[in-house]
Amino acid sequence: MNEIIHSTTRLRIMATMVELGVGRRISFKRLIRLLDVTKGNLSVQLKKLDEAGYITIIKSFSSTGVPSTEVKLTKEGKAAFDRYLADLRRILKPDFDLSEEMTSAQQQ
């Protein structure tokens, strides 16, 4: 299980970014609104995802000098998220067939 993604806030960030798509940008402010998290919490979680190579953080200034922060998902981040989902499915799906046990229980 990928411990970087498994954190609740980082999982929500990654799910949002995957829905948006690889390479597409979203503003820091929009993520705050969508995820209903504080600026500080979002900053910390984005830094961890950035350090893992799952996202890229882009800082810039508008023509009027207003700072802006945007985030985009990397191909590595998408692949890591896909592996995380596959791991989760394996955990949630039993490795055996329950239909025989269910039939036996129904007959009793």
Higher-confidence position of 103 and 14 = 14
> Could you tell me the pTM of the whole model?
0.83
Residue that is written with structure tokens 């798509």 in the block: 21
The 3-state DSSP class for residue 62 equals coil
In the predicted model, what is the mean pLDDT of residues 43-52?
A: 98
| Range list of β-strands (E), 1-108 | 25-27, 55-61, 67-73
For the segment(s) 3-107, the CATH number from 1.10.10.10, 3.30.230.30, 3.30.460.20, 3.10.20.310 is: 1.10.10.10
Percent of the chain beyond pLDDT 70? Answer: 86
Q: Would you say residue 103 has pLDDT above 70?
A: no
Domain-by-domain residue ranges, the chain?
Answer: 3-107
Residue 107 is predicted with a pLDDT of 60
**Sign (positive/negative) of CA torsion 49, 58, 41, 20?**
negative
